[in-house]
Amino acid sequence: MTQKVTVVYTLRRSRRKTIGVEVHTHGEVIVKSPIRTPIYQIETFMRSKSRWIQARLADFSQARAALPTLPGPDWEYFRGGVRQRGVRLRSGSLKVEAMQVFNLFIQELLPELGVSALRYRELRVRSMKSRWGSCASDGRITLNLHLICLPDHCIKAVVAHELAHLVHLHHGPEFQQLAQQIWDGYAAADAELDAWSAVLERSVKANKNGAGSPVEKRIVWL
């Protein structure tokens, strides 16, 4: 039997028609509901999802515990380890370092695509809050600046993932097979990405749908 616990959650109201709940890797629980839905209905829905919510929180907590510990505010994650922030000054910026590492791995793995490698156009690096990378149909790959925090094998998994999208713009069996073909450590490393997703910057923002979208913190007993 799942033990009951107290859960802090963020409630976001908007012009949606149903209640939904999300559990994020950094431990935040977000509930989205229609504007006029009463609290008792929202929390009844949450209790119906209690086992799932608690299981996700436990899994993500365990995953975060496996990450290296930052000694203090002047330290940062870099390629799976930690370092003092001042170290990056030698290269000019974190983005410069990220571009160098990401390009190195792209050039290493790109030949595995064979002729399809010709579809690759360029690499872009920018800060993203909820995804590690993306691949446009024109062959341009964008990687998250925060990806440089991860171990090299996780970075390669994301690179292999986006390179596979140059051929398959979906996540079906053919895509999975190609990603594993591009880099044989893909499946194992991909499984670690949930833990490292906790390092992505998160913020609660008002929904811009014209509904006013009040946001509040609440506590529920599940």
- pLDDT tens-place string over residues 109-130: 999 999 999 999 999 999 987 7
Mean pLDDT taken over the chain: 88
* Residues 102, 157: Cα–Cα separation, whole Å: 11
| Exposure b/e, 45-78, CB count within 10 A at least 16 = b | bbeebbeebbebbeebeebbeebeeeeeeebbbb
> Residue 202: what residue type?
R
Q: Is the pLDDT confidence value at 24 over 90?
A: no
Inter-axis angle of helices 39-48 and 50-65, nearest 10: 70
Phi, psi dihedrals of residue 191, rounded to the nearest 5° = -70, -20
Helix (H, G, I), strand (E, B) or coil at 22: strand
- pLDDT tens-place string over residues 27-82: 889 999 999 999 999 999 999 999 999 999 988 888 788 788 889 888 989 999 99
pLDDT band at 199 (very low <50, low <70, confident <90, very high): confident
Say what the pLDDT of residue 63 is.
78
List, as one string, the DSSP characters of 93-120.
-HHHHHHHHHHHHHHHHGGGGGGGGGG-
Structural domains for the chain: 6-66+203-221 (no CATH), 75-191 (3.30.2010.10)
* Residues 155, 158: Cα–Cα separation, whole Å: 5
What's the predicted TM-score (pTM) here?
A: 0.75
